Amino acid sequence: MEYLNKNPRRDFLKTSAIVTGGLMIQPFSLSGAYAAGSDEIKIAVIGCGGRGTGAVFQAFDTGHNIKLVAMADAFRDRIDKSYEPIFNKYGKDKVDVPEERKFAGFEGYKEAIKLADVVILAAPPGFRPDHFEEAVKQGKQIFMEKPVAIDATGIRKVLAAAEEAKKKKLNVVVGLQRHYQDNYRETVKRIHDGAVGDIIGGQVYWNDGGVWVNPRQPGQTEMEYQMRNWYYFNWLCGDHIVEQHVHNLDVANWVKNSYPVKAYGTGGRQVRTGKEYGEIFDHHSITFTYADGTVIFSECRHFPGATNRVDERFQGTKGNVYLSAGNHGILTEWGGKEIYNHNRDNNPNPYQVEHDELFDAIVKGEYKFADAENAAKSTMTAILGRYATYSGKEISWDEALNSTVDLMPERLAWDAMPKVLPNEEGFYPFAIPGKTKVI
C-alpha cells in the first residue's frame, strides 16, 4: 500500500478542525469500572521517565477521579523512580500499583494497557508505533507523547492505527502542546482568518546546547547502553530534528494548513563528535517546500555555548508573524504596525491543558480529539528533513513516506543487538551525505 500526500491542504484541514475546534463531539463508551457506573478513571503509564511521570501528575491535576493502576517500562528502576514521587504526593487512594502491576521489560506494556481506561504513552519514540497500535486495538483513550515514530515504517503504522482510533471513537491527544497553548491558538486562528494574508515564507528554529548523556556502565549489554542513551540512536529517538524540532515543524504545518512536498538540506557532526553522542547529527539546516511553492527554512542544532533560539517566524502577503513557546504571538503589517500582540500573562500551562481537555471530554463521554494523524504527518515532516540531511539529496514527501528502510532491531531483548553497533574504539557509524541510503 502507498501512503501519498496528494492533497495535503485538504487532509490538514480535516485534522486540524478536529484538533483545534472540537467539532467532532460524539458519545463513546469507556472500558472497565468507569463504563460500569463508577466515576473512577483508571490510568496506566507506559514509559516511566520524566515525561511519563510528569504526564501522570498532570492527569491527576485535572481534578477528576483518577486512579493510577499500572506502570510499564523496559527498566524496573525507572518504574521505581517514577512511582515514589507519585505515591508520595497522591497516596494509596489514588495510586494502586502493587508489585504485580509494575511491568518491567519489552512486552509489559500490553498487560498494563489491559488494566486501564486511559493510557499514557511516553516511552522512547521508537516504541510509540507498537504501543499506540496496541492501545487502539484494546480500545483505550490515549495520551501519547511526540514524536510518534522514528522512520517511515513506524509512521505508516501510526497512520493506520489513527484510522482505527477514529472508527472506534477513541480520543487521542498528542503532546505537541503548542496546539493547546493560548498564544499559538489565538495567533494561528488570526493567521487562518487572513490577518497577514497568505503565508509565503517562514523560518523555524530549535537551537540549544543539547541534552544529557549516561556513561556506559560495566556489564551493560549493547542493548541496555543504547536504551539508557536513547536520545543518541535513531531507532529510539530519530535524531534531535525528530525528537525536539518536530514542535517547530508542526507549527509550520499548522500555519500553512498543509505538509511539505519535498525537502533539501545539509547537516553533520561538528561540535558533539564524541562516541557518547552515538550516531546523531548535531546540526540540520533544511528548506521545506510546500505544494503552493512556499519555502519554510528550518534550523536545529546542539552547540553548547552558542546562542539558543526556539521560535517561529512567518511572512504573509500582508505582514509578519512571530511565535514562541515563551507566550509570544505577534502579528504586524509590513511597515511595522502591530495587528495583534497576545497577552503573555494569560497563558495556562499547555502541558496541563492537554490533560484538562482530554479528561474533560472523557468524563463527558465526548469524542473530541483525533491528534494522531496530524502528529504522524508532522513527525514525518521531521523524518523527511533527516532523510534530506543524511543523504544530501532532495527528497520528496512521497519518496520518504514510502521508504522501506526499517531502523528497529530484528528482536527486542537485552541480549539482542541493535542494527547500529560501535567499532573497536567505541565510535558509532553515522550518516555521510552523498553516500548514505535513507529510502
Tens digits of pLDDT across the chain (439 residues) = 333 444 444 444 444 444 444 444 555 655 544 544 568 999 999 999 999 999 999 999 999 999 999 999 999 999 999 999 999 999 999 999 999 999 999 999 999 999 999 999 999 999 999 999 999 999 999 999 999 999 999 999 999 999 999 999 999 999 999 999 999 999 999 999 999 999 999 999 999 999 999 999 999 999 999 999 999 999 999 999 999 999 999 999 999 999 999 999 999 999 999 999 999 999 999 999 999 999 999 999 999 999 999 999 999 999 999 999 988 999 999 999 999 999 777 689 999 999 999 999 999 999 999 999 999 999 999 999 999 999 999 999 999 999 999 999 999 999 999 999 999 999 999 999 999 999 9
How would you classify residue 139: left for phi > 0, otherwise alpha for psi between -120 and 50, otherwise beta? left
Q: What is the pTM of this model?
A: 0.93
Residue 380: CB atoms within 10 A of its CB come to: 32
Three cell numbers written together for 156: 505508516
d(CA 242, CA 56): 24
Note the pLDDT of residue 428: 98
CA distances from 421 to 41, 348, 410 (A): 43, 44, 14
**Domain 8-178+351-374 annotated CATH 3.30.70.270:** no
d(CA 8, CA 30): 33
Angle between helices 8-21 and 246-256 (to 10 degrees): 100
Three cell numbers written together for 304: 553548547
Which is nearest to 257 in space by CA: 342, 374, 364? 374
Contact, 94 vs 66, CB < 8 A? Answer: yes
Domain locations in the chain? Answer: 8-178+351-374, 180-348+380-401
* Fold entry, domain 180-348+380-401: Dihydrodipicolinate Reductase; domain 2 (3.30.360)
The number of CA neighbours under 13 Å toward the Cβ of 66 is: 28
Three cell numbers written together for 52: 511519563
